[in-house]
Structure 1
Amino acid sequence: MRLVLIAALVALTVTGCGADTEKTPAPAAPGTGEGLTASGFGPYRIGQTRDELIGAELVGALKTDEAGCATGTGTGSALPQKPKLRFADGRLVQIEVTTPGAATDAGLAVGAELADVTARYPDGRIIFGRPGAAWEVTDGTNALLVKVTGDNVTGLVGGVAASVEKRHRTESGC
């Protein structure tokens, strides 16, 4: 399965994707007019303090996850996707969405087909990790990671590039 995903991503990259890039983009986060980027999602911005988000009632109860990161679920906003938020040193470093229909600002939605990933983000690259291959697009010090299982997008992660990459490669860190 891993080899099939890698071969598919490489083939799509080499052949110029072969996808219809004139498709109407999938809807962004309902109620916000904005989708996930490497730097944020709706009211959440990478680098915001945990205290600021708690004070604005935009994060649920925090707990320490298996990797030692402070994690919480986004709440109190117009985002029905309830993004998973990860904090390091009191600052937001990752935002993850896995709800079908949650989308990036370029219209790439959870549930989209693999061909759509490279069509919308042709400057990305494949990175490998314990969960398999993923497509990563960097934007300065931040990154957008597209998780793919089989032929479909199963998750989107935006955040500090080093943090996003480490978590994907080792399933640890924040």
Structure 2
Amino acid sequence: MIVKLAEGNLKTKFGEYHEILFYNGQKESFALVMGEVAGAADVLCRVHSSCIFGHHFNSIECDCREQMEISQQLIQKEGRGIVIWLEQEGKGNGHFALLKSVAYKRKGLGQADAYEAVGFKKDARDYREAADILKELGVKSIRMLTDNPNKAETLTKYGIHVTGIQPTRLLSV
């Protein structure tokens, strides 16, 4: 269950969004909403997990920041969409797991396999909160901005109608 805590407008280099802050009893998450989404179908939606390396330290070893920028550009171009930010650092394993996995990733393992090599789950993220937020926003259906089909499958299990997936890697917008 989520509770709406606060909301306000946020100006970004990709247009103005309405930010809505939610709380699930343990963590905060938020939705950045552009345009009218209540009752709307096929709304572009990026479900994005926190990434300290990419967003705070501008690391060139991950593409999280770029995926966020591409998503916001696509939403701006369409004039309507949602970015949901979840506190799920390190694919839900935490920053410690990310730090421990770096050596394996630099040896050529993919990130998920690097987590597993140091004793963590390949992907420990949960998207129930994203589904709850989308329900709270009253969206009829979404088009996912993702390179991870598991996100769409999980949201579908939680009752969200996903009409399509649009990759965010290496898109030119």
What's the TM-score, normalizing by structure 1?
A: 0.30
What's the TM-score, normalizing by structure 2?
A: 0.30
